[in-house]
Amino acid sequence: MKNNILKSIIYLYYLSLIFLLLIYLFPGSIIGYLLYGDLGKQPNIVSNPIGTSINHFFYFFFLTFLGLTYNLSQKKFTNSFLFLFVLSFLLEILHFFMPNRAFELHDLLANIIVVLSIFFLFKLKKKFSL
């Protein structure tokens, strides 16, 4: 049973990673197009004062949690953290060069803060676990 749960986490992690790459590297908002018929409009998951950066926070929370959960059992925890940290930075920097996309400092901060937070929470859990 535990092996099936781990396999599900692995598949979900890689599918989520592929989805992230598609929505980040597409020149415009795929989700905005599907919901509003407008490639230039980003949907807000939750109304908030920082705008669509909350979407980045939620997605990177989900992705980092899956990635670190999977790699915690595989002893590749630090490598997974470094990969997700660099990916969160690199994908936002690529928006400088993408048509219909714009670099947003709030998005970059949301990405990085979430990856670092989840990493440190996992480190604390690992340190205090028996």
pLDDT digits (tens, 9 = 90+) for 76-88: 777 888 999 999 9
pTM of the shown model? 0.84
Percent of the chain with pLDDT over 90: 30
d(CA 93, CA 126): 32
Residue 111 contacts residue 56 (beta carbons within 8 Å): yes
Classify residue 53 by burial, with Cβ atoms within 10 Å: 0-12, 13-18, 19+.
buried
Question: Could you list the mean pLDDT of each consecutive 10-residue stretch along the chain, which spans 130 residues?
Answer: 83 93 87 85 76 85 88 73 91 88 89 92 81
Closest CA to 72 of 112, 119, 114: 119
DSSP-derived letter for residue 42 is P
Domain count of the chain? 1
Per the structure, the complete domain to which residue 43 belongs is given by 2-128
